[in-house]
A and B are shown apart, each in its own frame.
Chain A
Amino acid sequence: MKLTIGFSVNGDSVEVEVLPHWNLLKVLRDVLELTGAKQGCGEGECGACTVLVNGAPVNSCIYPVLEVEGKEVTTIEGLMDKSGRLHPIQQAFLEKAGVQCGFCTPGMIMSAFALLKANPDPTEDEIRHAIAGNMCRCTGYVQIVESVQHAAAVMSGRSQERAGKE
């Protein structure tokens, strides 16, 4: 039997009918058509499905959807501002090549977003720790780390010192 639950997604309140065993990723992708978060493994290992629930990153593929009642969900689709301008983290992933095939990117950016909210000036090790649950097969993580460092610098107004060109 389906249950109706209410929560907010990227600032909009939604009410959806769900089966109790569904996970949050299924509802985001199949019901709300927010396909940015990806299913890479369905077992909470790869992090491609990372979204924020009340500001904290979760693997939405194993997050029971009933748990989300009354909470705030943020997905990659919620990062651009209303005028369609990219968030500095999104921009940094393009400028520093933190993206290749792009499949892990939405989850990776959400983990980085949560990190920079909590810690605006992270060390390399802190960045690596924050994205340890987000697997990437293309980049070897180097330019992802550089992207997050660049975004941190831009967001805190330190862009000049680090934005050295190749």
Chain B
Amino acid sequence: MSELFVGKSFPRADAEKVTGKAAYINDIKVPRMLYGKILYSTRPHARIKNIDTSAAEKLHGVRAVLTGRNTPNVRVGFLGDQEPLKKDKVRQFRDEVAAVAAIDEDIAEEATSLIKVEYEDLPPVFDPIEAMKDDAPLVHEFDARGKPRRNNILPLPWKLIAGDVNKGREQSAHIVKDTFRTTWVHQVCMGASGCIAQFDVNNNLVFTSVTNVPFGGKDRLDMFLRNIGLKSSTRILTPFVGGSFGSKLDTDIYEFIAVLLAWETKCPVKILFDRHEEFTASPPRQPAIATVEQGCDKDGHLTFRKVDMILDNGAYTSWGATTPSVMSIPVSTLYKVRNIHFEATCVYTNNIYAQAMRGYGNPQATYVVEQSMDQLAEAAGIDPLDFRLINANEPYTESPMRIKITTCPLKECLQEVKTRIDWENKHGKRDGRGVGVASFLHVGGGARVYLSDGQGIIMKVNDEGKLTIITGGTDQGQGSETIIRQMAAEASGLRYEDISIVLGDTEICPWDVGTHASRHLFMVGNAILMCAEKIRAKIRDLGARWMRSIIEADLNKKARRDPDFKAPQIDWSVLENPDNLDVCNGEIFVRDDPENPFLRMKIARVVRKAHLLGTGRGEMVTAEAFYDPPNEMIDREGKGNISCCYTFGTHGVEVEVDKETGQLRILNYVAAHDVGRAINPMLVKGQIYGAAIMGTGYGLTEEMLLNAGRVMNPNLLDYKLLTAKDKVPIDAVIVEPIEPSGPFGAKGIGEPACVPSAPAIANAVYDAIGVRIKELPITPERVLAALKQKEEEGV
């Protein structure tokens, strides 16, 4: 039977958002709610000598003033390297020194300004390379266990070695080596961070959160409650969320502070960041300094790849420090190369600390690998696009990281770009216009970063024949409400418009790892398939038991009303076997006789019959499923098949560079993406467009300017997001190799399109004017400086 719902561009189902009715954290108030405000450090590195909160405490309307000195000393974060309120020492400008709860925001703000903190400055270190030196100031004198630290290097030695790089070098006809730098960029969700913490009568924490990892967040808050001496637990509620892009993966420090304030005041406490705070006190994507060396033989086959990364971790550790686990995927597996050496070193500095952002390290890694690919192609005298075709990954192969590639249309994506960007005619002109290309691979079938990569789902059918889906996932805007309905209608046989979705409450929803790693559609889709199968079986079973009596009652009724009515001859035996029945579009019918009007009825009727049997033996139609995919955690060597499948793609960009001003214009942009199967092509394109523009911003305009640890551009005027006026003509091309492990053949597409933009642009700039910009973003200043240097060198 052909599909009715999957593969079609259904409109967005979240109509609340266009009416202003959708309630975000900004819009939620609860009775007796106080407003929390945080006082941040004014020094990048200093001892706290004294904190005087007396004036703040006296201010009318203030309900609590907390510091590290009147709260429990509880360590939080992935490496336990900080406390919510800093007691003895600050290590970055965003360090939380004190917090206030007051009856309104203005009073809370005023109270923080009344707190006097005395500091004794310590020598700071802001450059990760400086910070790695033996005599560098120690950002942390002790680790979480109290052991003295000898240097600023994090105890996370990311390393992946496969094959023999030295042997690869010997086999090489051409070798290139270069160093590239990326910079701090921010997720810049339009909805800033915020939460409401409140305790119920049993001292359980009810936490309204913008997290996209409700159950992980619950675990962290439960542990925090235990550590501050409470035996209660957390219920997390997630409202509509104004974007995420990685920023809501970890439980942030302000969230622990809200809990402390709520416990202290016994009132609900809301903390809502303003835009300045969002830029300065929420963790962004870290910069990388990457040295990459690659070789190929005389025919252009890659022989080895060696990448060394130094990552500025900032002062504390969040998920940013784990992004090398994903960087190792493109380093080891983007194109066929057997000999791999990858090392990444995360270094503490007195800068703001880093979190993950869309792509989870992949944008940084692909930026360096794909520029090196261009350099190597040039060294070998091969067209860069052909060079990539020579080395493109093949379906059903295993990479040196033990990644098991399934479907892989990378060559097809490269060809799409080649044709659509008119590569043959446009490449190699050096006339101020140029074309560049970059590819990527990313996890497309989950990512086992925890022991479970699972998602639970519960379905129930009510006696109106409506299906409720209860899931532990979250929606950050990607369109869960729409695609869940499409897949569930397809799989369950209930009507699209009869499906409702419940998510966002850890007390009700079944467990889920989190809506991250481009995994949501893949996981929820597979969970839907498992669960819907059970629902269909139950409905068919009820049909086999009750359809006959319902039909007989109908016929009798008709006969009573119409004396001329002649009941049809019905072979009742066909209804006795559930296998003869089928369910589609809200109706149950005989599979081999679907048009027979007497043997067809709304699902609601059999479910209602089962509920209202009148015998004391009624039944419900509910089912649950837990989909935990067959992927692996990476092992001690950094190897393993972390995802069920991988998504590939290629971006091609045509640019025009003004040599006088350094200004760059994107004339054409082709983004060819393998999505397995597009459940909703319109929403797939929405992910591609949005991510490609984010990636283009990474390439061209976005940069958090840090001066001695301080963010100098913490506002939307000075942090340059692309606007609607920055028109990039994107041609989003969907390539659909049906993925066997994916629901209806689909792979994830949430992150990938932001990955190859920056290197594709950098490669296009090189093609246009013959200079390679090795730092992000590619600003007019950098283009001019590179042109000038080239002129001076007389190249």
Contacts and interface: CB of A to CB of B under 8 A. Distances in A.
B477 A43 contact: no
A128 B686 contact: no
Contacts of A100: 243, 477-479, 686, 690
Interface residues of B, number: 58
B721 interface: yes
Given A128-B724, A134-B724, A137-B243, A43 B692 contact: no
A75 B21 CA distance: 12
Contacts, number: 181
B601 interface: no
Interface in B525-544: none
Given A36-B19, A166-B681, A102 B240 contact: yes
A155 to B, nearest CB: 15
Contact of B18 (A94, A133, A145): A94
B717 A45 contact: yes
Contacts of B23: 35
A8 interface: no
Contact of A42 (B241, B243, B274): B274
B716 interface: yes
A43 B716 contact: yes
A136 B19 contact: no
Interface in B269-314: 274-275
A162 B242 CA distance: 30
B665 interface: no
B192 interface: yes
A159 to B, nearest CB: 14
Interface string A36-63: 1111111101101000000000000000
B715 A101 contact: no
A48 B240 CA distance: 15
Interface residues of A, number: 58
Nearest to B728: A140
Contacts of B546: none
Interface in A65-122: 75-77, 79-80, 86, 90-91, 93-97, 99-106, 109
Nearest to A144: B724
A40 B192 contact: yes
B191 interface: yes
Contacts of B478: 100
A135 interface: yes
Contact of B26 (A38, A104, A140): A38
A76 B725 contact: no
A2 interface: no
Nearest to B244: A101
B12 interface: yes
A129 interface: yes
Given A48-B190, A128-B725, A140 B19 contact: no
Interface string A128-154: 110111111111111111000000000
Contacts of A75: 20
Contacts of A142: 685-686, 689, 693, 730
Nearest to A165: B9
Contacts of A141: 689, 693, 723-724
Contacts of B27: 29, 35
Contacts of A93: 12, 18
B715 A43 contact: yes
A34 interface: yes
A58 B428 CA distance: 48
Nearest to A107: B190
B15 interface: yes
Nearest to A104: B190
Given A77-B19, A139-B689, A40 B694 contact: no
Given A103-B243, A142-B730, A137 B188 contact: yes
A133 B721 CA distance: 11
A138 B11 CA distance: 17
Interface in B679-703: 681-683, 685-686, 689-694
B488 to A, nearest CB: 19
B682 A76 contact: no
Interface in B1-36: 8-9, 11-24, 26-27
Nearest to A76: B20
Given A103-B190, A104-B190, A135-B716, A38 B24 contact: yes
A132 B721 CA distance: 11
Interface of A: 29, 34-43, 45-46, 48, 75-77, 79-80, 86, 90-91, 93-97, 99-106, 109, 124-125, 127-129, 131-145, 165-166
Given A46-B716, A138-B690, 14 more contacts: A36-B19, A38-B24, A42-B274, A76-B19, A97-B12, A97-B683, A132-B724, A132-B725, A137-B245, A140-B689, A140-B694, A140-B728, A143-B685, A144-B724
**What are the nearest 5 A-B pairs in CB distance?**
A36-B20, A101-B477, A102-B17, A140-B693, A103-B242
Interface of B: 8-9, 11-24, 26-27, 187-192, 240-245, 274-275, 476-479, 681-683, 685-686, 689-694, 715-717, 721-725, 727-728, 730
18 contacts: A34-B20, A35-B26, A43-B275, A90-B15, A94-B12, A95-B11, A97-B682, A100-B686, A102-B240, A102-B477, A103-B24, A132-B724, A132-B725, A139-B690, A142-B685, A142-B693, A145-B724, A166-B682
